[in-house]
A and B are shown apart, each in its own frame.
Chain A
Amino acid sequence: KNQVEQSPQSLIILEGKNCTLQCNYTVSPFSNLRWYKQDTGRGPVSLTIMTFSENTKSNGRYTATLDADTKQSSLHITASQLSDSASYICVVSAPPGNTGKLIFGQGTTLQVKP
């Protein structure tokens, strides 16, 4: 069964600190892996997207890595800000095809404290 698992479930860090979120997936084959940020009560917003041939992608203070051999990805947040408090969701695009169906992880809830 296609699965996306994330860890930790929740994380609290101090403003200015770095953190790394983990994702393991069993979707195979897959088209691409994305990280989304979801604020409470809002829709997910795309942060990064990587195909199986890419192993790192940056978007400002967000850096995602992908190891397609071990089926693991991470999202590193540098110099965290209060506005980074949100749920970060690892999402894998299902077997290649035009539908583009996304398979979501359960998310890591990040809280940045002053």
Chain B
Amino acid sequence: EPEVTQTPSHQVTQMGQEVILRCVPISNHLYFYWYRQILGQKVEFLVSFYNNEISEKSEIFDDQFSVERPDGSNFTLKIRSTKLEDSAMYFCASRQEETQYFGPGTRLLVL
């Protein structure tokens, strides 16, 4: 069964460094999302992406964040200058009809 994949599974970085989180959505899906989950807290919406542009973003998704679909398969989330509070689990999802399918997540730790 097709699934959303994410790399890396874990990432440790120094505060101020740039990180790129990668996702490969399910191939025939057209809508893509990033969510994050800070340890012990609820999953929060970051951004949705459709037709090669952002369709909606949350207050969390400030100028430090960007998304890109550089080719026909990858969907990336870039954090330009990481902060301690960016430490979280980041989930990518892709959507077919009404169901969003989530990847296994990337655990980001900012030191």
B50 touches A98 (CB 8 A): yes
Partner of A101, one of B41, B48, B99, B105: B48
CA of A79 to CA of B101, assembled, Å: 26
Number of A-B contacts (CB under 8 A): 60
Identify which of A49, A99, A107 contacts B56 (C-beta below 8 A): A99
The answer to whether A100 and B104 touch across the interface, beta carbons within 8 angstroms, is no
Q: Does B100 contact A (CB under 8 A)?
A: yes
A111 interface contact, C-beta 8 A = no
- Classify chain B's interface size: 20 to 34
Interface string of B22-60 (1 = CB under 8 A from A): 000000000101010000011111001010000110000
Which 3 interchain pairs have the tightest Cβ spacing? Answer: A43-B102, A99-B56, A104-B43
Are A100 and B102 neighbours in the complex by a CB distance under 8 Å?
A: no
Q: Is A12 in contact with chain B by the CB < 8 A criterion? A: no
Interface centre among B35, B99, B100, B104 (most CB of A within 10 A): B100
